[in-house]
Chains A and B, each alone.
Chain A
Amino acid sequence: MLAPLAARLSKHLAFVSCIATTGGGLAILVILAPTVFSGRELTHFLGHWAPFSGQELGDTFGADPFGLAFALAVAAIGLLLLIFSLSSLLDLGRRELGAYACLSQLLIAALIGSGLTADLVNLFVWFEVAALASYGLTGFFLERPLALEAAFKILVLTNLASFAVFIGAAIIYSDHGALNFGQIEQALHGHTRDADLVALGILLAGFATKAGVIPFHGWLADAHTAAPGPVSALFSGLMVNLGVVAIVRLSLQIFDSHTADPVLGLLTVLGAISAVVGAVLALAQDDLKRVLAYDTISQMGVLLVGFATHEAAGISGATYHLLNHAIFKSLLFLCAGAIVHATGLDKLSEMGGLARRMPLIAAGFVVGAASIAGVPPLNGYVSLGLIHETLFSHDRAAYVAIVVAQIVTVAALARATYLAFFRRRTQRLPDLTPLHPGMITALVGLGAGCVGFGIFPYEVLRHIVEPAAGGLLASNAYAAGVLSAGAHLPIPAVNYAYFSARDFLTALGTLAAGLALAAWYVRVPEPRPITWLRALHTGSVNDYASYLTAGGIVTVAVLVIR
């Protein structure tokens, strides 16, 4: 928070203080990690206001493995993004650097807080802090008209979402007198009324807006297009996950068993629609960052479908994919940002032949794209394999939707990679700005993350992902834990075979089909259905707000009618 002041003294001081505080936060989380991932939930009552006969009045923080995994990912990737962005912004003035450092740290802090909080209003506050920081970061280069436009869109939509979250929390409180997650869970046991379901619907709509799930997604692509590369990475890799984490906590840990079916069904449908439509829209974009932004929408859909399986393997796969997505999407956005930084180009139609001039960025982008595509040694293969495997035995319709989405995703990224890096270039490129060492550090770090999470799947599963899934499934134990001094959460064992024939063939099949689709798509004019789909995205903030409202009404209606 002191970064703007430090920047007045010296730019390097601001840089160092910012990195040091984020690194310190990361170190604290890492110290907690072994205890929490061994299945122990840690609880802290703010101001030591411990619960009195099952009633908790103060704020509660509860570090369960799922929340801590998210917080760790935010702190570690956030640190790399700060190194990248601050070293590329060192050319800017002191005030800009200080403000940028302050806003990004605010966002990172809000995300860590939202992962660890166990209090509904506290969650709303973190949501709002993240929202305010994101407004500032979207409109950071206010002299660009695109940034103004995007800032207004994100303001209107996120503001509506934050009202939804606020009202939802208030309804739950006035119904049960509870804000602590554990207390709500216990109050809801057998006493779920229609008002609670309305509240749940409103809360889900609010957090789905943050997560960018279709039809709540209007702000996402525009905010990513207008913001600088590292900010897009922060939004797409980390911030949208806030919505997913909150949705998962609400639907699995708080509104568990008795209302689970309609909620999980709703999440599966929303997720499948987001996955397919997001991927199709990504295929059609000309702006490199919009390709990646629509792909984020698609991946959030995949995550929701994975979590909605309510099976240990599916939830593990989705948690794994959440971490993977944070790594590879940050990497891809940093590459896109580095291209803009070095060449000033952002349209795929103007790029081409960049691989020869920017080999490091090309390598980073290919690693990221191959991870999303699920190419075997990289991380996407494992998490997608787990999700596909669970859906195959659990829900065939969702399986088909997710595999189709995966094929289109592969096609979209293959098309972008080909057009940007490997197409033959006719005109000369402008002179390139060289990369700073900080930028290279971040790219290499994230690339190593993609490879590391891919070649040590059993370690990640056993030490991070399985405990997280256990905490999400054992809602009673979690609830008891945040109402007392912590609890032991069970750790399920997930069967995962790295070289299972079906996983391998699915990965190969989607890859081949996706490449074929990309090869076909770059040759034909835009197909009619895609034009219609794109025409729905009118760019008018009123229309996006209408989609959001309609989505919210449908969500509430589905939950109440069942």
Chain B
Amino acid sequence: MIVANYLTAAALFCFGLYTVLTRRNLIKMVMGLSLIESSSYLLLISMAYRRGSTPPVLLNPPHGQTVTGLAKGNVADPVLQNFCLTAIVIGVAVTAVFLSVAVRVSQHYRSLDSDRMREMKG
């Protein structure tokens, strides 16, 4: 059921956002952002889904089907899957930056509590 996918994506997003808004531990915030990220992957893949569709691959068509038949037929949306790949790549890079900052924070403050880092305010 594709609706279940959407509901799961929404639930993941809400968990992630709740974590970012309420947890003070930096690592937990990064985990929350990762949850939001994974919810977006699930959402995109589900949006690309068509009932009974074939993968958007035109090379080596399965037995009894031709390339033009595949291209004109029912294909899952390759653009959204492509988005998803892009997002995964960017997500990895951003998480790496995040964690490197978290490591420096823990070295400097000897703590991962974001409430300790509130020197700039007002």
* Partner-B contacts on A (CB < 8 A): 57, 121, 125, 128, 131-132, 135-136, 139, 142, 145-146, 148-152, 155-156, 159-160, 162-163, 166-167, 169-170, 173-174, 179, 221-222, 225-226, 284-285, 534-535, 537-542, 545-546, 549
Contacts and interface: CB of A to CB of B under 8 A. Distances in A.
Contacts of B86: 121, 125
A174 B47 contact: yes
Interface in B9-58: 17, 20-24, 26, 29, 33, 36-37, 40, 43-44, 47-48
A149 B120 contact: yes
B6 to A, nearest CB: 12
Nearest to A169: B83
Contacts of A537: 121-122
Contacts of A222: 120
Given A540-B114, A549-B21, 18 more contacts: A121-B83, A131-B94, A135-B101, A146-B119, A148-B104, A159-B94, A160-B33, A162-B94, A163-B37, A170-B44, A173-B83, A174-B77, A225-B120, A226-B120, A535-B122, A542-B20, A542-B21, A546-B21
Most chain A CB neighbours (cut-off 10 Å) among B101, B102, B114: B101
A54 B33 CA distance: 38
A125 B89 CA distance: 11
A284 to B, nearest CB: 7
A57 to B, nearest CB: 8
B114 A542 contact: yes
Contacts of A541: 29, 114
Contacts of B1: none
A542 B80 CA distance: 31
B59 to A, nearest CB: 18
Most chain B CB neighbours (cut-off 10 Å) among A151, A159, A225: A159
Nearest to A539: B121
A135 B94 CA distance: 9
A5 B80 CA distance: 36
A149 B47 CA distance: 37
Contact of A167 (B40, B101, B105): B40
A173 B43 CA distance: 13
A121 B90 CA distance: 13
B24 A542 contact: yes
B105 A148 contact: yes
A155 B94 contact: yes
B117 interface: yes
A128 B90 contact: yes
B97 interface: yes
Contacts of A225: 120
A142 B107 CA distance: 11
B119 A145 contact: yes
Contacts of A131: 94
